[in-house]
């Protein structure tokens, strides 16, 4: 997928997502980890910043 297709997918996920406020940890391709309010927050971040952070285990 191109980065534009990925951004569109995350934007669509963010648009349709219902916040559940269950914290998730996201990690980028460089291994940098950050905390998000929930999956919707991670999708919004990926959409707005044109990133591709994915959820990861807390201990990683």
Residue 29's pLDDT is what? 87
Confidence of residue 7 (pLDDT cuts 50, 70, 90): very low
Residue 57's pLDDT is what? 82
Confidence of residue 60 (pLDDT cuts 50, 70, 90): very low
What does the pLDDT look like over 13-55, one tens digit per residue? Answer: 999 999 999 999 999 989 999 999 999 999 999 999 989 989 9
Confidence of residue 6 (pLDDT cuts 50, 70, 90): low
Give CA–CA dist 35/46, Å, rounded.
13
In the sheet that 54-56 helps form, which strands lie side by side, from edge to edge?
33-36, 24-27, 54-56
Instruction: Give the domains, in start order, of the chain with CATH numbers.
Output: 3-55 (3.30.60)
């Amino acid at each position: 997928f191109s980065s534009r297709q990925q951004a569109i997918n995350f934007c669509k996920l963010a648009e349709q997502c219902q916040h559940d406020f269950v914290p998730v940890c996201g990690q980028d391709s460089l291994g940098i980890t950050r905390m998000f309010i929930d999956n919707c927050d991670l999708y919004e971040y990926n959409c707005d910043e044109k990133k591709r952070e994915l959820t990861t285990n807390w201990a990683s």
